[in-house]
Amino acid sequence: MPLYEFSHCPRCGGLLELKRPPTEHRERQICRDCSFIFYQGLKVAAGTLPVRDGRLVLIRRGVEPGIGLWSFPCGYIEKDETLEAGAVRETLEETHLEVRLTALLGAYSYPPALSDSRVAVLAYLAEVVGGELSPGDDATDANYFSYEEIPWKEIAFRSTLDAIRDWRAHPATPPSGPRPA
């Protein structure tokens, strides 16, 4: 995906051109007609790593990107909600689980060469407080995994891998190994 993927002004429909505003240090897309400066930062997504009895919930994605692969429940934050509310909402929509956030696990972003989705991902550690696990919305499957059961070869995104490793290393995560039933 090119860095600048739009050709027309979202405000008036005029043509965008690449110019450096006088007070800035890099070029921006600026409208020829109305001078609108089209700032395009990373999109923000948030989600949770829901945990019950030491096992982590992952969902199998039913849509691109990463269709058929596993990730934690996560999605774009709406303009009128907080990161925390969005993470809880996405989790409910994709897993039918009610969760309580317990910690900010990590914030993940990557250079364009390593990821073509220009997104900043916030991942919260969460405990499951209600609901019954089943896939919802864009998910085709949902399951609990111990660290040993993680489907490493079928993980959707680099941020998923990094967040699972950070979950494993988090002080709240009990040591690996068999546990009493």
E strands of 86-173, at which residues? 97-108, 119-131, 139-145
In whole angstroms, the minimum distance from the beta carbon of 11 to Zn ion comes to: 5
From 3-11, 59-67, 134-142, 151-159, span contacting Zn ion (CB under 5 A): 3-11
Q: What backbone torsions phi and psi does residue 154 show, to the nearest 5 degrees? A: -125, 40
3-state secondary structure 131-147: ECCCCCCCEEEEEEECH
> Does 34 interact with Zn ion (rule: CB under 5 A)?
yes
> Does 9 interact with Zn ion (rule: CB under 5 A)?
yes
From 35-43, 95-103, 127-135, 151-159, span contacting Zn ion (CB under 5 A): 35-43
In whole angstroms, the minimum distance from the beta carbon of 155 to Zn ion comes to: 41
From 24-32, 49-57, 94-102, 150-158, span contacting Zn ion (CB under 5 A): 24-32
In whole angstroms, the minimum distance from the beta carbon of 15 to Zn ion comes to: 9
Whose Cβ is closer to Zn ion: residue 34's or residue 172's?
34
Interacting residue with Zn ion among 19, 28, 36, 104 (CB under 5 A)? 36
Rounded to whole angstroms, the Cα distance separating 90 from 98 reads 10
What are the angstrom distances between the C-alpha of 118 and each of 13, 42, 49?
Answer: 24, 5, 21
> Does 67 interact with Zn ion (rule: CB under 5 A)?
no
In whole angstroms, the minimum distance from the beta carbon of 42 to Zn ion comes to: 23
Rounded to whole angstroms, the Cα distance separating 132 from 60 reads 16
Q: Are strands 16-19 and 43-52 parallel, antiparallel or unpaired?
A: unpaired
Rounded to whole angstroms, the Cα distance separating 177 from 2 reads 45
From 17-25, 36-44, 62-70, 95-103, span contacting Zn ion (CB under 5 A): 36-44
Closest CA to 41 of 78, 3, 10: 3
> Does 31 interact with Zn ion (rule: CB under 5 A)?
yes
In whole angstroms, the minimum distance from the beta carbon of 9 to Zn ion comes to: 3
Interacting residues toward Zn ion by CB under 5 A: 9, 11-12, 14, 31, 33-34, 36
